[in-house]
Structure 1
Amino acid sequence: MRDQAQKSGSVKDVVLLISVTIPNVNVNIDDMIRRRDALKDTFRSMKAKQSASAFCSMLRRSGWYFVPCKYDHVAVLLAALPMQLVEQGPKGVFGQNKTSGVGVALSSLGRGIKTVSVESKVLLPIIGEWKGDLSSPGMLLAGRRGQIMYWLPFGGALLPALNKNAVAPNENFKLCIAGVPGSGKSVFMQELMLSVLGVGGKVFVLDYGRSFKRTCLILGGSYIEFDMKNPVSINPFSEVPEDDSAKSIEARSDFLSNFSSILATMAAPQYGTSDLQQPMLQRALTLALLSLIYSICSFNLSFSLSCCFLIVLKFC
């Protein structure tokens, strides 16, 4: 246009040239938009045909075959609506019940068959999403078809009061969440944590990266950091039972057999302990536990001397 304006040499010719050129551009843009919309409609039509074909193939394996509707669209549409398939009419001369409705008309056209209600209920191809476990409220999620459902990895074991007559679950309640960085793994886990807390559960989190720190502080929890600036002394013997019941004896035995491996990992994380070092570590753990029992027996007057000797023998 600049070259033509220079050749024309007048402002009037330039304005006329612009007014003639711009409608041509608009026509080209409108044509491109129409072509784009036509391609979209074609793609949607092809996608719908592919989805319908896949649906028919899936149900054909179950014994259901579909016939395309060409001339009876209205009757089939009305039959799909609620309370339209069959209607009970007035009784006849001999007292029999008459039925009417769209289903009777479709049966006369060969589009329906008569069967018992039990058979129809079993053979009906109902496809729906999982509704979740209503007896174990948890995270409120939505499926791909919009079905609202409750989900909780612990099932009804978290709320036994609501599942008195339910079958005992056979899961081990383990869960693995994977995703790329920034996809919302920590946010999902925090939502799961809030769901467990909402039904009265307790949550213990081993946080690597401090993703749960702010949420823990907002909820009034205890966030324990192991840092050189904040030294924390943990007593491994604080949860060891001291009474002489069968469960306590078993718990103490499990503690002595399992905690030595934790101490071995803390002492030699790379190469581990040798066959000589491991029994020595086990013996040191037993002596430390015996000294703790002796201190309890010395400062607690409610313990008798015979009871202390009995506990020591149980540990040995």
Structure 2
Amino acid sequence: MNKIWRLGFVLVLCIGALMPVWNVSHAQDDDSRFTPEQRELIDTLNQAFTNVANLSAIRYVQTQTLNQLVSATDQPEVGEIITNLVQQIDSVVVFEEGDDFTSPSRVSQTIEQTLSVSGGGIGDQTIEQVLDVIYVDGTFYARINQISPSEDYGFPEGWFNWTENPAALPGVEVFNLEQLFSLSSIIPSAEIAEVAFEDVRLVDEYEEDGQTFQVIEVVWDVEELYKNALFGLNQALNLEALGISTEEFLPLFIEGSSFVYRVTINTTTMLPVSITSELTSSIELPAEVFGTPLTLEQTVINETQFIEVEEVPEIEPPVIEEEAQAEQ
């Protein structure tokens, strides 16, 4: 059963990575799908996120909350596994010449996580950790900055090359890091939004400190989003490392899920202010997927705040201890 709650943890990280980014240029051959008013809203979203890349750098702070319940329907002795995950991701993205918002060259992140799991015969477990990540020109670097309780988990000390050694953090071997970063940077692409928006509507307009704001809600067609935009998820996740068939699991996950965005745009500066998104899932998993029939219920809420950066930070590859010793 351990792999079950680990899978939930992996999925929230992967889905969460897709939430804060946008590229919604629309094709012009299917204007009938949306009203003129909806077209204006889509154009506003597109313009706001296109403008981000003109800032040289931007900071965004995400708070992600996962509440998940997994139960084994034919194993009452196992009971239920309850997972609660709260993580805050503080990111700074630097754009270099030739970059756009879909492909920044340099990213610095600090990820603070509190993961609590109970039930299922595994007892009550709570782990708190702080992970620092740097991405420079296609290479990921990471270090465990803090972990509690202080046990020997076998993590590397100091900075290490995460791209070359993805298994250095147990559980992360299910990621293809390069593909995952690509997904988090390009979802949804120009054509994807055209077919994957189920509904777009203006839910609020207001003025504050002489500036105007719009709050726009997007309901995603999750099946279309999966078929057209999340096809790369099969490459980003190596669920076989957990003994799980990606092809069998993901269609069930998508079929039982709903996904809603609410975006606040400063229409004076034409820049994004925040995104709140909610992913809810209710899934019956057959025995063929996990070896026993399971029921999964979960809600993932992601709140992202965008913050303009006054001075562009220097983001460089960190010094790795082995490399430093070799240079001496």
Give the TM-score of the pair, scaled to structure 1: 0.16
Structure of greater relative contact order (alpha carbons < 8 Å, 6+ residues apart)? 2
Q: Which has the larger radius of gyration?
A: 1
**Structure 1 or 2: more helix by fraction:** 1
**Structure 1 or 2: more strand by fraction:** 2
